[in-house]
Chains A and B, each alone.
Chain A
Amino acid sequence: MVTLDDEEQAMLAGEFGPARQWAIAHQIAVAEFFDAKDFVRVGQAHIMADTEATGEAGVAFVESLAAMAPEHRRVAIPTITDPRGVDFDAYKRLKQTPGMVDIEARLIRAFEALGVMMTNTCINYQTILPPVHGEHLAFGDTGVVIYSNGVLGARSNFEGGPSALSAGLTGRTPRYGYHLDSHRVGTKHFAVSWQPRDLSDWGALGGIVGKRTDSYWAVPVISGLERVPNSDELKHFGAALASFGSVAMFHIPGVTPDAPTLRDAFGGREPPPPDPITEKDLSDFYGIYAARGEKVDVVVFSAPQLSLVEMGRVADLLDGRQVHPETTLIAATSPEIKAAADRMNITARIEAAGGLVLSGVCFYQSYAREMAEANGWKRLMSNSAKIVNILGGYGYKPTLGSMEDCVRSAVAGRIC
């Protein structure tokens, strides 16, 4: 049984109002399922709640909290949001419906009444308040969690929307999984015999490791990388690792903070023999998504949202070129980066070439299935391994390529 302190017992008894009473009861159910002994205080909560995921039931639930008294409904810690389902400035061009806009607007109003900050981003670790080594968090979005745990040495489980909202209201979360030292030790060893070049290679590496790990409770350790990757490279690696394998933590010895050495990555024990990842594994991975010569309907840069550096690179590649009239090119970023891209003329350069810049959304969380039907989109190309993994389930035929190949294909109107 989970032990409750005086404040948690008071919440459960309803002394802090019905919203916190629901939240702590929900968290106790999760705590008991995972044998958590107690709760741990968290510094931030991050809520994944696009309306495609919440549906009417989720929106109505958050609205029921928003109707409560201000002292009962306001979150207790900084609480931020993952991408939304609709960019109000672009929905008509994407053939999203007024119904999608209405439900999105309702959910935003409800979250604002709870004191939630509408950051609408899955790159909050690059743009809002980056986690600190050892900091306990209640983060949604698998890409955010794996980056925070692996790259920054912070501590979070995957917290689905209702659980992250609960953590925002109570200021704590059950202490299990990646909050505990015992779960953060490497369990599998992979040795890479080639060096990733593009962001799509980093995503492919994440996809390969994710497929072979395939468990939330396993921690892969990757050796053989000869250079320290940058934040965008680790962002694509982690997002794909989490997407393909439901993985929440990794170590790269000499790079990530909890693993100065290979031995440290395994908690000071002798590392197990490595599972090799060869250049053929990489080409086989790309081969799953290859479709050269076919018409391309939509080229997507998203999942995770683009950093300012990625936005600038897309603009550089598009300068002096035009996207093919029968192809749509989309670049999705966070509201903060969009403002910076506007200020630096990056947005204007992408749009002058016929591209579309979206703010506060991430393609697959934006009614991707309905957009495919409304726009007649079938063949999609992206440099995100995560997105090609997800969209196969949404009726798309996805192709993975480098950012350069994606832009070249968007201009040609077919996959090159």
Chain B
Amino acid sequence: MPIVLQCHRGIGPSVTGTALVTKDNFSARYDLDRIAGVFSRPSHELFGQSYVGKILVFNTAKGGVASAWMLREMMERNVTPLALVFNRVNPILAQGAAFGNLALVDRFEAGDVATLFRTGDELAIDPGAGTVTILNRAS
């Protein structure tokens, strides 16, 4: 049975894909090699992993304002995550998702995204409705 979780109304299109979950935070500028499409910051929990085509699940967003531009560039070059999911996001990522038309949601009623979702879960995100549906649990 799919599990439907309520969140705040989000930004961007509805998407379906596979989750990559971390308790760590996110900055497009500081954490990513945006050419290779991998996490490049050695201290990041997802260091070395590819983010391309994944629904990335983080605690929150960090640091600089550059991510507001970078999400659109990543979208146009097709070296991009499919969607971003946070507990609570800062304005920069929300602005960047709006500029780049990337799916982004946060503020879940049921609690911490790091426990609600597991790496490998199949998720359907509907930002307009403010829902994330777990279609298939990772085994």
Chain A residues proximal to chain B, CB less than 8 Å:
26, 29-30, 32-34, 48-50, 52-58, 61, 140-142, 157-163, 177, 214-217, 242-246, 365, 389-390, 392-393, 395
Residues of chain A contacted by B98 (CB below 8 angstroms): 26, 29-30, 33, 162
The digit string for B9-29, where 1 denotes a CB below 8 A from any CB of A, is 111000000000000010101
Q: Does B103 contact A (CB under 8 A)?
A: no
Contact of B69 among A33, A54, A159 (CB under 8 A): A54
Closest approach, in angstroms, between the C-beta of A211 and any C-beta of chain B?
11
Distance between A56 CB and nearest chain B CB, rounded to angstroms: 7
Can you report 21 residue pairs joining A to B where beta carbons are below 8 Å apart? A30-B98, A32-B9, A33-B8, A33-B9, A33-B10, A49-B69, A55-B73, A57-B69, A57-B75, A160-B67, A162-B69, A162-B95, A163-B95, A216-B90, A217-B90, A243-B64, A246-B61, A246-B62, A392-B42, A393-B40, A393-B41
Contact A163 B8 (CB under 8 A): no
Q: Pick the residue among A32, A159, A215, A390 that contacts B63 (CB under 8 A).
A: A390
Query: Are A160 and B72 also in contact (CB < 8 A) when A29-B11, A53-B29, A390-B30 are?
Result: no
Give the docked Cα–Cα distance between A243 and B90 (Å): 13
Least Cβ–Cβ distance between A408 and chain B, in angstroms: 28
Q: How many A-B residue pairs have CB under 8 A?
A: 124
Q: Is B70 an interface residue (CB 8 A)?
A: yes
Q: How far is the CB of A305 from chain B (nearest CB, A)?
A: 15
Please name all residues of chain A whose beta carbon is closer than 8 Å to the beta carbon of B9 when the two chains form the complex.
Answer: 32-33
Query: CA of A160 to CA of B66 in the docked complex: distance in angstroms?
Result: 7
Chain A's closest residue to B106 (CB) is A33
A-side contacts of B91, CB under 8 Å: 30, 34, 157-160, 163, 177, 216
Bound: A32/B10 CA distance, A: 9
Residues from chain B with a CB closer than 8 A to the CB of A54 are 69, 73
CB of A217 to closest CB in B, whole Å: 7
Contact between chains at B40 and A33 (CB < 8 Å): no
Which B residues are CB-close (under 8 A) to A140?
65
| B68 and A160 within 8 A (CB) | yes
Question: Cα distance A10–B70 when bound, in Å?
Answer: 30
Please indicate the chain A residues that have their CB under 8 angstroms from the CB of B63 in the complex.
Answer: 142, 242-244, 246, 389-390
Task: Confirm or deny: B92 has a beta carbon within 8 angstroms of a beta carbon on chain A.
Answer: yes
Instruction: Rank and list the top 8 A-B pairs by shortest CB-CB distance, nearest first.
Output: A160-B68, A55-B73, A53-B66, A216-B90, A393-B41, A393-B30, A162-B99, A29-B98
Chain A: interface secondary structure? Answer: helix
B94 interface residue (CB < 8 Å to A): yes
B69, A246: Cβ atoms closer than 8 Å:
no
Interface residues in B92-115 by Cβ distance below 8 A to A read 92, 94-96, 98-99
Interface flags, B69-80, vs A, CB<8A=1, else 0:
110110111000
**C-alpha gap A30/B99 in the complex (Å):** 10
Question: Is B121 at the interface (CB under 8 A from chain A)?
Answer: no
Asked whether A161 lies within 8 Å of B43 as measured between CB atoms, the reply is no
Closest to A216 in B: B90
| Contact status A217-B88, CB under 8 Å | yes
Q: Using Cβ atoms and an 8 Å threshold, which residues of chain A touch B122?
A: none
Min CB distance B85 to A, Å, is 14
How distant is B46 from chain A, measured CB to nearest CB, in Å? 13
A160, B10: Cβ atoms closer than 8 Å: no
The complex places the Cα of A26 from the Cα of B99 at a distance, in Å, of: 7
Q: Which of B8, B30, B94, B99 has the most CB of A within 10 A?
A: B99
CB of B41 within 8 A of CB of A160, answer no
From the candidates A32, A50, A57, A160, name the one contacting B95 in the complex (CB within 8 A): A160
The residues of A that contact B90 with a CB separation of less than 8 Å are: 158, 216-217, 246
Please give, as numbers and ranges, the residues of chain B lying within 8 Å of A141 by CB-CB distance.
65
Q: Given the known inter-chain contacts A29-B98, A392-B41, please indicate yes or no for A160 contacting B11, CB distance below 8 A.
A: no
B60 within 8 A of A: yes
Interchain CB contact under 8 A, A58 and B30: no
Chain A, residue nearest B62 (CB): A246
- The answer to whether B11 touches A58, judged by C-beta atoms less than 8 angstroms apart, is no
CB neighbours (8 Å) of B43 from chain A are: 392
Instruction: Tell whether A34 pairs with B73 under 8 Å between CB atoms, given A142-B63, A160-B68.
Output: no
**Minimum C-beta distance from B22 to chain A (A):** 15
Q: How far is the CA of A393 from the CA of B62 in the complex (A)?
A: 13
Least CB distance from B68 to A in Å reads 2
